[in-house]
Each structure stands twice: as structure tokens, then as C-alpha cells.
Amino acid sequence: MKSIIKSFCLIVFTAISMQSNAQKVFATKTGQLFFNASGGIEKIAAVNNQVDSKFGEATGQIIFGVLIKGFKFENQLMEDHFNENYMESSQFPKADFKGYIKNIKDIDFSKDGKYPANFDGTLTIHGVAQKVTTVGQVEVIQGKPIITGEFSVKIKDFGIKGLYIGEKIANEAKIRVNCKYQN
Amino acid sequence: MRIIRYLFIVNFLLLSVWGIGQNIDLFSEQNNDQNPDIITGTFKSTRVVNGQSIENVGAGVLDFRISHRFGALSQGSYNLFGLDQATMRIGLDYGLASRLTVGIGRSTYQKQYDAFLKIKLLQQQDGLKFIPFGISYVASTMYKSLKNAPTTYNPYVSDKFSFAHQLIIASKINDYLSIQFSPTLVHYNLVDSAKIPNDFKSLGISSRIRISKRVNVTSEYFYRIDKLAGYYNPLSLGIDIETGGHVFQLHVSNSTGMTERTFINETSGSWAKGDLCFGFNITRAFTIRKPKELRDVKW
């Protein structure tokens, strides 16, 4: 009987110890993504508070996913036009980013602080994939990382068409990300 | 002893499982989360032509609406085919919540005031839940302030009121086609004679067909179940043109009125006689109260 208990304990302990060695994955479902494409006096900007993101501490792999319909505009009509005429959200309901934090090894998740982070990956919007490289920041507070970053994309690169692009709507949209992860 | 050996095997299995777990490939991970997908843009405006569509004004948005109707084409060249004559309704609709709109209006036709309330009871959905259509309820009240010709009967203020209840059932079949049914009940507080009922039932049928991203063709027809003699069923055909901040609606219709009582039950024009009125609606949306997600955002 004793030996059974012993080996059972062994299993439990190895399991626990192996778990701590396994890759830590940080995740959030409530990240924020801001988008600003104001071309003239009218503000064409929206926020999405339901960004789904995960990244692996060991591999540096990072993914972001958003539902296009989750973008909130100040003006309902603008939101409808964004979905129907520009993003065609019934056809392309999601946008995502899959890439790497290139310098993940330089970030110490056990120590609070701000670390610059280099992102490199593929951004898919409106069904079109484009390479994106940008510099952001990883801030660690009590073991929990916060990723912030900003970059611009050319709207026409993603096959998005519309009369007002280049006029009321800027040619380039600024995208800002702010994600607080749980571990 | 056999149990111990068995446990060791389990132990090794666990070890190997954890070993695999060490390098999860996030890219190949399938995200199977089903999200609710609320269907939007069934119609391009809160009105199809004269009648209410299933669309609401966004929460915190004030929609300023001018509806204009010219006279009938059959009036001939003397009235420049109806263009000399015009009636209009000026209205304000406000989105108290995303599913609740209230509005007020004034029509020059019969000097009417009107107010309405529109509630989205059920939203058409796809994704997590499949709901093939949406349902809204509209209650409106109309006050006819036009002075009647003097008669022996001196009407009370309440006599000039009429009410409409409408259930709107609409489905966006795809980006190109939407269909709407709107069973309606119009109640008159006062009718001309005791023989005429006070309540009038009708059924509205409307559609939207997309021609291009910015242009949609609409139609609106009301079949009157209870009829007031001397009037016709209203039929309107329109084009919705979307520009940046607003939607233009151009249409031809055999009705002149723009409130439920006047356009459903008191349409005096007939398509067969060429009593077609050209008209348009222009709206401009103003954001009065920002959505809460955007209140503290610094751009």
C-alpha cells in the first residue's frame, strides 16, 4: 500500500514540476484595438474592446484576433458603412495577426519593467494578408504583461475600396493595440 | 506490484504529454469560439419610404429627418406635374438605447404632430445563435391640428388623435436582399359616421434590393384589410443612396401623407390614374452622447 501512495505522489510531483517547465501562454479576450483613419475634419475612428490575443513565452509566437463587427464608432451610420461598404464584414468577419516577438528572450517576465519588443508577422484584413513589422512595448507588472504597439497600414493594400478613401478617409489607418494579459 | 507498474506507465504517459505541451504552436491552434453575430443593415434607413423599417437610430444619436413630397404627376403641366405643390414632414429621432428609438415630427399635410416609439424586441442573429428574422414594435400617435369646417359638432381635443401599432418582422436574407412584413393597426378616436369602424388593420410588405454598395432599391406596399371607402392601397418605390454622413431616399408613391394614418388608410392617389408623387427623404445624424466605449479614449 505504501508503495502505491509513493508512486502516486511521484506522478503528481512530476506532473506539477513538468507543468512549470511547459511553455507559459499569456492570454486575453478583452484587449483593446484603436483604429483611426480620419482624413479630414470628420473623425473616422473606432475601438474594439474584445481583442483575443495569446502569446507564448518560450516561442515568442503571438496572435491577435478581432471581429470586425466589434468595432464601435461614435456614429452608428459610420459603423454600418464600415461594415457593409468597406470591410464587408459578412464576407470577412475577422481580422487577425500571426507573428513573433523577435526579442522575446530579452524580456524577463519575472521582473517588473518596460521592455521594447519587435513584432514581425502577417496581418490579415478583408481576406488579404500583408507582412507587418513594428516596434512596441511589453510592460511587466507583477508577472502580468501589457503589450502596447502602434503601426499604420495602407487601406488599399488590403483590397478595401471606397469612394472616400484618400479624402474623408485617410489613405493610411493608424492602429493602436493595448492588451493586458493574464497568465 | 501490478498496480505500481500500471502507475509507472501512467506516469510516463503523463510525462510525454507534458513534453508535447512544452511547445504549443499558437498558429495552428484552432479558435472554435462561436461568437454571436447580430445582423445589421437590414435596411439602410429607419424608414423604408413612408413606413418604419426595422432599423433603429444608434444609441445617443439624433437623426434629423426632412421628408418632402411633391404633388401628383397627374396634375399636368399647369402645376408642372406636381412640382408646384409640396408637403413636408420635419422630424427628430433619437436613440435612447441601441434598441429603443423615440421620435417626434410635424407634417404640413393636415397640420399634424406625431410621436413614436420603436423597440427592437428580437434581433436577427447568426453564429452562436441562429435567429432568421428580427422583430420590432412601433407605437405612434398622431394629432391632426387642421381645423375642420364648422359643423354642429364641436370636436374635443381627443377626437383629433389617432394611434398606430405596428409589428415589424424583417429578415436580411443576404447582403443583396431584405424583406419585411409589418402588420399594422390604426385606431381613429373619431370617425365620420357610426357605420365606419374605429380600427383599421393592414399588412405592409417591404423589400430592399442592393444594386451597388451605395445604392439600394426599395419598395413598400400596404394591403388594407379594413378599408376606408374612396382610398387606395399605398405603393411606393424608392432608391436609397448612401453618401458619407447621410442617406438620401428618392421615391415615387401614390400617397401624400407621411404618418401611418394618412399614408396607409388615407391614400387618395391611384397608380392607375397616374397620381404619382415624387418625393425624397434626407437625414443627417448627430452624435449627442458618445458610446461608453469611446468616452475616455484619447486619439
Tell me the per-residue pLDDT of B218-256, one tens digit each, with 9 for 90 and over.
Answer: 999 999 999 999 999 999 999 999 887 678 999 999 999
Q: Using the beta-carbon criterion (under 8 Å), do A14 and B7 form an inter-chain contact?
A: no
Over residues A128-139, mean pLDDT? 94
CA–CA distance, A134 with A137 (Å, rounded to integer): 10
Inter-chain contact A11–B7, Cβ cutoff 8 Å? yes
Q: How confident is the model at residue B3 (pLDDT cuts 50, 70, 90)?
A: low
A41 reaches B (C-beta below 8 A): no
pLDDT category, B82, cuts 50, 70, 90?
A: confident
For residue A61, the SS3 value is strand
Count the alpha carbons within 13 Å of B231 in the hemisphere toward its beta carbon. Answer: 22
A85 touches chain B (CB under 8 A): yes
Q: What is the pLDDT of residue A39?
A: 87
Q: What is the mean pLDDT of residues B33-54?
A: 90
Query: pTM of this prediction?
Result: 0.82
How many residues in total does chain B contain?
Answer: 299
Which residues numbered 154-183 in A keep a CB inside 8 Å of some CB on B? 162-164, 168
Cα separation, B37 vs B56, in Å, equals: 17
Angstrom CA distances, A93 to A89, A90, B37, B143, B190, stand at: 4, 6, 9, 45, 52
What's the confidence (pLDDT) of residue B154?
Answer: 80
Residue B7 in any domain: the answer is no
Contact state of B14 with A164 under an 8 Å Cβ cutoff: no
The CA distance from A137 to A177, in Å, is 10
Could A14 and B25 be called an inter-chain contact, meaning their C-beta atoms sit closer than 8 Å? no
Return the number of CB contacts < 8 Å for A and B.
123
Query: B-chain residues within 8 Å CB-CB of A63?
Result: 26-27, 29
Q: Tell me, what's the pLDDT at B24?
A: 75
**Cβ within 8 Å, pair B58-A8:** no
- Whether the per-residue pLDDT at B19 is higher than 50: the answer is no
Q: Which of B25, B26, B173 to mutate to test the interface with A (most CBs of A within 10 A)?
A: B26
pLDDT of A105 strictly over 60: yes
Q: Which residue has the higher pLDDT, B238 or B85?
A: B238
On chain A, the residues whose CB falls within 8 A of the CB of B11 are: 7, 10-11, 14
In the three-class reduction of DSSP (H, G, I as helix; E, B as strand; rest coil), residue B15 is classed as helix
Extract the C-alpha cell encoding B11. 506516469
Task: Give the model confidence (pLDDT) of B114-165 as tens digits.
Answer: 999 999 999 999 888 999 999 999 999 999 988 877 777 788 889 999 999 9
3-state helix, strand, coil in chain B (%, to 5): 15, 45, 40
Integer Cα distance of B213 and B232 in angstroms: 34
Q: What is the ipTM of this complex?
A: 0.77
Domain count, chain B: 1
Of the listed ranges A4-13, A172-181, B189-198, the least confidently predicted one is A4-13
Confirm or reject contact between A58 and chain B (CB < 8 A).
yes
| Rounded Cα gap, residues B247 and B44, in angstroms | 7
Mean confidence (pLDDT) of chain B = 89
B20 within domain boundaries: no
Residue B169 included in any domain: yes
Q: Is A146 on the interface with B (CB under 8 A)?
A: no
On whether the CB atoms of residues B45 and B220 are closer than 8 A, the answer is no
Would you say residue B151 lies in a domain? Answer: no
Domains assigned to chain A:
23-180 (2.40.128.110)
CA B215 to each of CA A86, A172, B247, B250: distance values in angstroms, whole numbers, following the listed order? 14, 26, 10, 11
- Structural domain harbouring B100: 36-146+157-289
Task: Let me know if residue B27 belongs to a domain.
Answer: no
Residue B245 belongs to a domain with what CATH number? 2.40.160.40
pLDDT of residue B186: 97
